[in-house]
Amino acid sequence: MVTVVGRLEDFTPGSAKRVEVDGVAVAVVRIDDDVYAIGDICSHANVSLSDGEVWCDEKQLECPKHGSAFSLLTGTPDTLPATQPVPVFVARVIDGAVHVEVTS
């Protein structure tokens, strides 16, 4: 199911924001005018990734608890201690609205 989670201007460039889509916590990340969506809960600890730092050049989101950095493209952690990926969802901007598609 595709859900509109806000307008592009609702998302600060270079940061992440937590949204709920069909009961799933999603971290929506804006880098310039591109948006990415990954599962908001770290696979290593029960921590919200949207509170972490966005690494724009690397297209990664860092977990604020232990520092694992997750790829916004694949969900794979590129640094320890996390070893399991988080889900990645389709996110796009259509007519200024941010759409996220969560699949199970």
Residue 84: which CATH number? 2.102.10.10
Asked whether residue 76 carries a pLDDT value surpassing 80, the answer given is yes
Region 82-102: what's the mean pLDDT? 96
Asked whether residue 88 carries a pLDDT value surpassing 70, the answer given is yes
pTM over 0.85: yes
Could you give the number of structural domains in the chain? 1
Say what the pLDDT of residue 20 is.
Answer: 95
| DSSP state string for the chain | -EEEEEEGGGS-TTEEEEEEETTEEEEEEEETTEEEEEESB-SSSS-BGGGS-EETTTTEEE-TTT--EEETTT--BSSSS--S---EEEEEEETTEEEEE---
Residue 44's domain spans which residues? 2-101
Region 59-87: what's the mean pLDDT? 95
Pick from 83, 14, 16, 22: which is nearest to 4 by CA?
22
Q: What is the mean pLDDT of the chain?
A: 95
